[in-house]
Amino acid sequence: MKLLEAVELTKIYDGQKGGLFAKRNPRQSLPAVNSVSFELRQNETLGLVGESGCGKSTLARMLLRLEQPSAGRVRYRGTDITDWSFGRMREVRSRMQLVFQNSLSSFNPAFTVERIIAEPLRNAGIRNAAERRARILHTLESVGLGASHLGRLPAELSGGQQQRVGIARALVRKPEILILDEPFSSLDFGLRRQAMDLLDELKKSLGLSYLFITHDLSIVGRFCDRAIVMRHGGIVEELPYADSLEQATHAYTRMLLDSIPARHPRERKIDSRLSNPSF
């Protein structure tokens, strides 16, 4: 089942239309995203991999319709939503949520955890405070937090807890798609594994699908079902099974693979313990 589809999506920003910029720097005349097509299927984690500036975030913003494509179409469950108005997009937006790279910077520092997670519910017009609180608590529990966290401010939480609150805020309106934009980059190794495990569990229990944006190919094999590799706004390679990364053939993907630093033996040991079901 195709949940979300990009059909030849293209984005050319104003400064990229040529003229002075194009003369000074020929790369500026390249579209930020150039005729990209792919689909996100139900219950899968699709990795979108590439170096900084290759167009990953622009692509995600077009899928969420936060940015209007210069050309191409966006389809959600087979329906073309490219030209839908802001009002009409409301319902679709609740089905697709974004989890930010750095949760802390996306929170209002003066808001408690309860208020942060309540915002999407208020925006959805849920006026009943008791109903909001019940949904907030239920969602907090699903990410391993509880009532004792409701009154805390973001600065009073650990990095891992902040990320869980960010995930809870994205989940509270019961989406079916999460767009995860470098969600682990501000977490250290141990917290990263916990966050991956939590997202894996939530994917199964809530029937979610993930579009996982990253520049880090080393995470893709562990976290994704399949992946697409982007460079200079276009797709250079599709990896049908992310756990067989070593079979990637494109020179650019090989270069990304080769740039993964050799991992510390202690991390490899933790990996093997975690893959042991009795651990």
Ligand X SMILES: Nc1ncnc2c1ncn2[C@@H]1O[C@H](COP(=O)(O)OP(=O)(O)OP(=O)(O)O)[C@@H](O)[C@H]1O
Nearer to ligand X, 13 or 111 (CB): 13
- On whether the CB atoms of residues 246 and 216 are closer than 8 A, the answer is no
Nearer to ligand X, 203 or 215 (CB): 215
Nearer to ligand X, 32 or 117 (CB): 32
CB of 102 to ligand X, least distance (A): 12
**Can you tell me the distance from the alpha carbon of 167 to that of 180, in angstroms, rounded to the nearest whole number?**
9
42 DSSP β-pair partners:
none
CB of 61 to ligand X, least distance (A): 8
At which residue do the structure tokens 């920003």 appear? 13
Nearer to ligand X, 63 or 116 (CB): 63
Structure tokens at 247: 């079979």
**Residue 4 — φ and ψ, nearest 5°?**
-135, 135
CB of 76 to ligand X, least distance (A): 21
Nearer to ligand X, 14 or 246 (CB): 14
Nearer to ligand X, 121 or 210 (CB): 210
CB of 26 to ligand X, least distance (A): 13
CB of 188 to ligand X, least distance (A): 20
At which residue do the structure tokens 């141990």 appear? 190
CB of 80 to ligand X, least distance (A): 23
41 DSSP β-pair partners:
2
CB of 9 to ligand X, least distance (A): 12
- On whether the CB atoms of residues 217 and 256 are closer than 8 A, the answer is yes
- On whether the CB atoms of residues 143 and 171 are closer than 8 A, the answer is yes
At which residue do the structure tokens 């073309």 appear? 80
CB of 58 to ligand X, least distance (A): 3
Binding residues vs ligand X (CB under 6 A): 13, 15, 32, 50, 52-58, 215
Nearer to ligand X, 154 or 233 (CB): 233
At which residue do the structure tokens 């050319």 appear? 12
Nearer to ligand X, 56 or 135 (CB): 56
